[in-house]
Chain A
Amino acid sequence: MSDAPLIAGDFLALLANKSFSPLRTEALASAPVQTQATTVFAFHCAEGVLMAGDRRATAGNVIVTDRVDKIIEIDAGSLLAIAGVPATAFEMARVLQTSFEYYRRSQLQSLSLPAKVRALARLLRENLPMTMQGVGIVVPLFAGLDHSATPAKPQIFFYDPLGAQFQAVGHAASGSGSGTIRSILSYQERYGTPRPSQMNLAQAVQFALRLLVVASEFDSATGGVNPETQTFATIKLLGSAGVQTISAGQQAEFLRS
């Protein structure tokens, strides 16, 4: 019972204490063919923050799978959207999931939102050697609950590959199809009726699905949505009460309405 980490509640310090390293940072002689993930985005709607992503992973011009979940529930009040190399991104998600729960359980209080945002920035910074080699780049989005407001207020953050963190006012997008989506989101936010921030859940889900359909028309690495083949997106809503997953069945219903 003497293996306590140097920083109380810091799971990464505990792993280091036990000589585990979650992310590989050594240099490689040559780059392997990367599996990559593609279009994810988040925007404020009337009921919180809606985060959505297509489900395609590609390696070069090969479609690896159309069943990847790129929107990951990190804990009861945080969502991560991954774009980039899944091998690194999923490991980052796993580190964050375990770190946040480890802190909450060991310190008997939840990690603050700024600390959660920085925890992801720290992982991105530690991944810098892989990013610089071009074999492990990850550009995620993060949504978390700000408990300093009552009721708790969902916030969106986006990052650059080096770990810089930025708070999004209305929306954020990442991945190869994000250019298209950012344009539509900006247009809708400025001229649309209703604006994304005014949309109820049904409208927001329908809008998100349509965004992915459009993105997939311009970006071959974005999976898109096809009700006929039961191919839908991964969509989660972060409200003041926590995370809600919008199932494929619900998406089909919202898309029909």
Chain B
Amino acid sequence: MTEEPYRWLEAVANRREYVRDQLKGGSPAFAACLPGGILLLGVGAGNSKVFELFDRHALTGLGHPADLEKIRQAAIDAAHVEAFTRAPEDVSLRRLVGFGLSPQLKTNFEQIFSAPFLVELLLAEVGVEAGHDVLLRLHFDGAFQFQNQGAIVAASVPEAEAAAQTWLNRELNGKTNRADVAELLLQAWWCLTESKSFTEATPTEAERRDGWRAAAKGRVVEIAWLARTSPRLARYENLTLAQLGL
């Protein structure tokens, strides 16, 4: 099969379709830059969606728990070896993803006789000042995009993800309070999981508020905060809805 380019292309296309199909129904994940740091949010089962990677780095995403775990471990291993052999300041998302995770994901995706990773990921690195943050969207095929501000979404359907991100960046404009931002991210989460439109006939704010509260019952809203300034090296902190007053 691999000697015939057409059949290889077809096999890769089939894999893309297979991965997207497997990711359907995955709970979307979010990250947003604020003046004081980066807020990450996902709805899962507790310790299942949002993770600390290193001093200034965190990960969230959706997908198969075993694959998510493999990538989380690989990122933590790489970050700690880098920090130990050089310095904690040398650990950067660009290098971690560009030279480590992305090539590995791409290789796994295109080697059609091995299993692909069933994941869609968001990684965050808090900078010394606003505008220097790094939000990174890493796809199952190793493709990735960077941004330095605003909000970013990981969802299983690319079109819905793009619409949610556009809506969020418009709604979040000017909002600096963590509770307000978390509230909006949860509304976007509900709209995505319920396949509501972000462009036409978007649910009212009251519907969105009631919607996420009802949908999140029996699940764990996992929220993490990467603080821009802290007396400690580790900037990661888990937050609860109660701590945010939600």
Q: Which of A5, A11, A14, A105 has the most CB of B within 10 A?
A: A105
B73 touches A14 (CB 8 A): no
- Counting CB contacts under 8 A, is B71 at the interface? yes
B77 touches A105 (CB 8 A): no
B77 touches A14 (CB 8 A): yes
Residues in chain B within 8 A of chain A (CB atoms): 47, 51-54, 70-71, 73-74, 76-77, 80-81, 83-85, 104, 231-232, 234
Residues in chain A within 8 A of chain B (CB atoms): 1, 3-5, 11, 14-15, 18, 20, 22, 76, 94-95, 98, 101-102, 105-106, 108, 245
Cα–Cα, bound, A105→B73 (Å): 9
Cα–Cα, bound, A76→B234 (Å): 9
Cα–Cα, bound, A59→B41 (Å): 53
* Cross-chain contact of B80 among A1, A22, A102, A245 (Cβ < 8 A): A102
Cα–Cα, bound, A94→B54 (Å): 15
For the residues of B in contact with A, the DSSP-based class is helix
User: For residue B52, which residues in chain A have a CB less than 8 angstroms away from its CB?
Assistant: 105
Offer 20 A-B interface pairs, CB within 8 angstroms, sorted by A.
A1-B70, A1-B71, A1-B74, A1-B104, A3-B74, A4-B73, A4-B77, A5-B77, A11-B80, A11-B84, A20-B84, A94-B84, A101-B234, A105-B52, A105-B53, A105-B54, A105-B76, A106-B73, A106-B76, A106-B77
Task: State the Cβ distance, A238 to closest chain B Cβ, in Å.
Answer: 14
A76 touches B232 (CB 8 A): yes
Cα–Cα, bound, A108→B52 (Å): 9
Task: State the Cβ distance, A193 to closest chain B Cβ, in Å.
Answer: 35
A1-B104, A3-B77 are known; give 14 further A-B pairs, CB within 8 A.
A1-B71, A1-B74, A4-B73, A4-B77, A14-B81, A76-B232, A94-B84, A95-B84, A98-B80, A101-B234, A105-B51, A105-B53, A105-B54, A106-B73
